Structure 1
Amino acid sequence: MTAPLDRRTDYRVTFVVLCVGVASFSLLQSMVNPVLPTIQEALGTDQTTVTWVLTAYLVSASVFTPIIGRIGDKVGKERMLVVALGALAVGSLLAAVATSVSVMIAARAIQGIGGGVLPLTFGIIRDEFPREKVASAIGTAAALLAVGGGVGLVIAGPLVDALSYHWLFWIPMIMTTVAAVAAAIWVPESPERTPGRINVATALLMSSWLVALLVAVSQGHHWGWDSPRVIGLFVAAAVLLPVWVIAETRSSDPLVDMRMMRIPTVWTVNLVALLFGFGMYSSFAFLPQFLQTPEVAGYGFGATVTESGLLLLPQTVASFIGGVAAGRLAARVGSKMLLVFGAGLTAFGMFGLAFFHDEVWMILVETTFLGLAFGLAFAAMSNLVVAAVPQSQTGVASGMNTNIRTVGGAIGSAVIATVVTSQLQASGLPTESGYSHGFLLLGITGAAATIVAILVPVVRATTHVVPGPQAEYEAEPAERAQV
């Protein structure tokens, strides 16, 4: 029996701690991208090797996000939150003092363990917050992922100019250390636990196909899409993925319950997440490059890293506004409607970038629309998934949704990189049509996400009937998260 809510830590204190953790993780996702050439020069390595600074973080976060979320469901979300924040702090410290690229890559892999902060945050909110506050809290926490990504692009340049790239890691280290100590003191332990053991075999299978897929996608542009290494990794992923699904289906104690993944709301929202991640993370990667392209190329604005970040500041502000407003809007129109609107607005913004990008004001308007779309859609996706699953499955369900969005981002960034660089000028810069075609593809992806979002069923009943040995799969009422 758990302590009454009024004897537990005030949920507002808990929320502040959770937001610091999510913000730190999201900053680490994006701050490194704009200054990768600086890190390459400082550590004396080459372009191909330094890309592993991004790949190691991506792969580690993708593997550990659902695993840490599931362990939290079983052994306690608060203690696993401390572990995830501790990993972020240790990895950031190691990255800040790294003197070689191998140490930096190892540090980024440790940081990726902190991806578990996201599903644990959603689970703790669902456990601890008053029912009427759950939707807005989840919306704000989810939007922080998009906001942090934008803030990382904005502050990376000024930080490096004023101090050094080491401070890209010192600041998150300080934030996560404070958050870890605060979590240990003030965040209450989970009242909900899932019985059973952690299925190590299926965890290894899931990790194997994710590593094979993400390494192939991330390094394909450098190794060559037709290279034996890339083809071999894709084949391995294609074989291991169905093996993992079969193993999870047959397991009496699965890491990821496939019956949960087959809930109509869950799988449709996950598909939206894949498509949405394809567009959002690609825009984080390629919009700064477009803005920094010298005007001699016939397009672009010749912005510095700092200037390009400031040009994207309205997008970041709009993401925050969208995330904060999402909770109240969801109570009025429903999270599904927000998701449809956010996905549609993403398509609108991407199509705008494809056809109208000659003036700074055009970029500002279009990216502001994108920022609002990201904030609304992130909040809506998280609320829909959390409301559709049992409380004991919150961590792994939201972890898989986050993970699928990350996989979509990795695929999108690789595809857009290939499209943008398919035609190069004599100077070695991409042609304007490369960026136009890339943004057009992202617009099409956004339109596809909108169509899928329209098909997302709204959870209204307290029981899901799912094919499988246990036909009755209980979930909390939809009004729990005000879907």
Structure 2
Amino acid sequence: MSAATPRVLVVALCVGGITVALMHTLVVPLLPVFPELLGVSRAQVSWLVTATMLAGVVGAPVFGRLGDLFGKRRILLLVLGIMLAGSVLGAVSWSYGPLLVARALQGAAFGVIPLGISLLKDALPADRAGSAVALMSSTLGIGGAIGLPVAGVLPQYTGWHALFWLASAMSAASLLLAWRFVPESPVRAGGRFDVPGAVGLSAALICLLLPVSQGSEWGWTSPRTLGLFAASVVIFLGWGAYQLRVDAPLVNLRTSARPMVLLTNLAAILVGVGMFTSFVLIGQVMQAPVATGYGFGTSLAVAGIAQAPTGISMLIFAPLSARLSNAHGAQLTLLVGCVLLAATNLVQAMLPGSLLLVVMIITVAAAGTALTYAAMPTVIMEEAPPTETSAANGLNTVMRTIGTSTCSAAMGAILVTFTMTADGQVLPAPAAYQLAFGIAAGCSAVAAVLACFLVALRRRRTAAIPLPELVAENPQVTGPADRTRNPGPAATRSGPGSCGGYRSRP
């Protein structure tokens, strides 16, 4: 391993984050043609997305906790190696079975996001950690924004295997960068790995998300769907009771129940819906025939190019969000992002008639996504103990995935329910997109309300700190007007490596 400057460290980890996020949207544009290419049913093809999602929601908290216990760099290299193996397997696969295994291995790498966030927090000085963590968290959206157009355009000229060779190259580059430039964190948690807790959480999440993703195929009232939902509730209750009794739990539920953490995780689910709706639907709107009354009749390539500014927008606004968070608190940053998502989804529900206007709207929506994704880990790490940051961020990543998975299932059901005939094709009716974007706007608005409570909690904490104590810990605070620059009594000064210059309360 070579010594790395802070900038090189950030680049090394963010390349891994973008690559991981790319895996989740890699095959989405190809789903309509995979049944013919692989000789399987449409229901079987949907598992190429479901397997990745399920492996991701299990891998994020499990690998995050393993990193807290055994070394974040060590587990990061392991996870990146798994992603590389899955990408290579997909590149050499010509049948459904190996490709399904490859997609599951790619999904398991979702743990890179929480591990990267914690490594940056532990390794960087306080004045660099905020913007770096913000950018790392936003890679989850940046990779998705880049992945959809790339996955839509590249196979037209090279074949679908090229996507997996591209994923293999990016995975290998991520692994090499991490091996050479990412140092091991000195922060370790005590105790053993909670195997029963990992098994219980995995089972509960699978029982929840499996019917969410497959409910439209199985039937929402079928015994299999309802049975899995019921099993999820029962397992979650039993798992929660066990986590409260064990000495070193997989997820510290007492920390997760703190208002700041709980409200942030709830907002993460809703933000996932608000963000992913645009990612999933806007390309379909662009390519829909003009005869529908809402479509623009673009080609797949043009639609991909039109969505390119979203990735650029997220790259710009992710580091800028750190400045807003440092000045006014990450809670306010989260609020601003949620308001932008609510506003842009509401405008999209009106089905604008200008392609340029649509591109402008989704670019602003991407900025809102960057702000929300960048703010959430900062709020979480102000509350979580330093030895549990990877696991806590892993849980937050799971919450985002629950939101995006629920969004995908709900939007799919809406589009097949409200249909029309145009140019001899059965296509979603305008009402379908109006309802879908309206739901996304509503979810984003509720997330904004939760963010308002977070802002109020932060201000209440700040107001409760005696001014002499603030001045003693922060010499830059000179009077009452500066009190809002501090995170509140939950945080105390720490040295280099703490997020934003503060460490969590015990």
On whether the aligned pair clears a TM of 0.5, the verdict is yes
CA–CA separation in structure 2 for the residues paired with 1:181 and 1:396: 24
Q: Deviations over 1:394-427 (max 9, x none)?
A: 1001110011110111112211222232222244
TM-score, structure 1 as length reference:
0.93
1:222 equivalent to 2:220? Answer: no
- Structure 1 residue aligned with 2:12: 17
User: Which deviates the most, 37-46 or 205-214?
Assistant: 37-46
Structure 1 position 168, deviation (Å)? 1.4
1:260 aligned to which of 255, 258, 267: 255
Specify the code of the residue in structure 2 equivalent to 1:259: R
1:66 aligned to which of 61, 65, 71: 61
1:148 equivalent to 2:146? Answer: no
- Structure 2 residue aligned with 1:364: 359
Structure 1 position 476, deviation (Å)? 5.9
Structure 1 position 86, deviation (Å)? 0.5
Specify the code of the residue in structure 2 equivalent to 1:219: Q
- Structure 2 residue aligned with 1:194: 189
- Structure 2 residue aligned with 1:28: 23
- Structure 1 residue aligned with 2:451: 453
Specify the code of the residue in structure 2 equivalent to 1:126: K
Q: How does 1:396-415 map to 2 (within 5 A)?
A: 396-415=391-410
- Using a 3 Å threshold, how does the CA distance of structure 1 residues 79 and 52 change in structure 2: closer, same or farther? same
Specify the code of the residue in structure 1 equivalent to 2:170: M
Q: How does 1:56-205 map to 2 (within 5 A)?
A: 56-205=51-200
Structure 1 position 113, deviation (Å)? 1.4
Structure 1 gaps of 5+ residues are: 1-6, 463-472
CA–CA separation in structure 2 for the residues paired with 1:42 and 1:358: 35
- Structure 2 residue aligned with 1:440: 438
- SS at 1:37 equivalent: coil
CA–CA separation in structure 2 for the residues paired with 1:196 and 1:167: 44
CA–CA separation in structure 2 for the residues paired with 1:390 and 1:8: 27
Structure 1 position 90, deviation (Å)? 0.5
Specify the code of the residue in structure 2 equivalent to 1:170: W
2:414 aligned to which of 419, 430, 443: 419
Q: Deviations over 1:148-172 (max 9, x none)?
A: 1111122122211221211212112
Structure 1 position 336, deviation (Å)? 1.3
- Structure 1 residue aligned with 2:471: none
- SS at 1:99 equivalent: coil
Structure 1 position 266, deviation (Å)? 0.8
Q: How does 1:233-272 map to 2 (within 5 A)?
A: 233-272=228-267
Q: Deviations over 1:439-472 (max 9, x none)?
A: 011111111010001111337699xxxxxxxxxx
The answer on whether the counterparts of 1:34 and 1:288 sit within 8 Å (CA) in structure 2 is no
Structure 1 position 475, deviation (Å)? 6.4
TM-score, structure 2 as length reference:
0.88
The answer on whether the counterparts of 2:278 and 2:362 sit within 8 Å (CA) in structure 1 is no
- SS at 2:417 equivalent: coil
- SS at 1:312 equivalent: helix
CA–CA separation in structure 1 for the residues paired with 2:126 and 2:414: 46
1:391 equivalent to 2:386? Answer: yes
User: Which deviates the most, 162-171 or 265-274?
Assistant: 162-171
User: Which deviates the most, 181-190 or 445-454?
Assistant: 181-190
Specify the code of the residue in structure 2 equivalent to 1:400: L
- SS at 1:481 equivalent: coil
CA–CA separation in structure 2 for the residues paired with 1:455 and 1:191: 35
CA–CA separation in structure 2 for the residues paired with 1:421 and 1:348: 26
Structure 1 position 59, deviation (Å)? 0.4
Structure 1 position 9, deviation (Å)? 3.9
1:481 equivalent to 2:494? Answer: no
Structure 1 position 324, deviation (Å)? 2.3
Specify the code of the residue in structure 2 equivalent to 1:480: C
The answer on whether the counterparts of 1:347 and 1:446 sit within 8 Å (CA) in structure 2 is yes
CA–CA separation in structure 2 for the residues paired with 1:262 and 1:198: 21
The answer on whether the counterparts of 2:314 and 2:367 sit within 8 Å (CA) in structure 1 is yes
Structure 1 position 430, deviation (Å)? 1.3
Structure 1 position 228, deviation (Å)? 1.6
| Aligned length, in residue pairs | 467
The answer on whether the counterparts of 1:126 and 1:391 sit within 8 Å (CA) in structure 2 is no
1:335 equivalent to 2:330? Answer: yes
CA–CA separation in structure 2 for the residues paired with 1:375 and 1:393: 24
CA–CA separation in structure 1 for the residues paired with 2:118 and 2:357: 40
The answer on whether the counterparts of 2:276 and 2:408 sit within 8 Å (CA) in structure 1 is yes
- SS at 1:480 equivalent: coil
CA–CA separation in structure 2 for the residues paired with 1:245 and 1:80: 26
The answer on whether the counterparts of 2:21 and 2:110 sit within 8 Å (CA) in structure 1 is no
Specify the code of the residue in structure 1 equivalent to 2:444: G
Q: How does 1:294-309 map to 2 (within 5 A)?
A: 294-309=289-304
CA–CA separation in structure 2 for the residues paired with 1:352 and 1:482: 39
CA–CA separation in structure 2 for the residues paired with 1:9 and 1:317: 26
- Using a 3 Å threshold, how does the CA distance of structure 1 residues 39 and 97 change in structure 2: closer, same or farther? farther
Structure 1 position 264, deviation (Å)? 1.6
Structure 2 gaps of 5+ residues are: 466-488
Specify the code of the residue in structure 2 equivalent to 1:273: A
Q: Deviations over 1:171-230 (max 9, x none)?
A: 121122122233223321120000111111111110001011111000011111111211
- Using a 3 Å threshold, how does the CA distance of structure 1 residues 354 and 75 change in structure 2: closer, same or farther? same
- SS at 1:425 equivalent: strand
Specify the code of the residue in structure 2 equivalent to 1:115: F
- SS at 2:420 equivalent: coil
1:377 equivalent to 2:372? Answer: yes
CA–CA separation in structure 2 for the residues paired with 1:482 and 1:158: 43
Percent of aligned pairs with the same amino acid: 33
- Structure 2 residue aligned with 1:429: 427
Structure 1 position 8, deviation (Å)? 5.6
2:341 aligned to which of 341, 346, 349: 346
CA–CA separation in structure 1 for the residues paired with 2:298 and 2:39: 26
Structure 1 position 100, deviation (Å)? 1.2
1:321 aligned to which of 312, 316, 341: 316
Structure 1 position 329, deviation (Å)? 2.3
The answer on whether the counterparts of 2:23 and 2:107 sit within 8 Å (CA) in structure 1 is no
User: Which deviates the most, 432-441 or 352-361?
Assistant: 352-361
CA RMSD of aligned residues (A): 2.0
- Structure 2 residue aligned with 1:280: 275
User: Which deviates the most, 167-176 or 88-97?
Assistant: 167-176
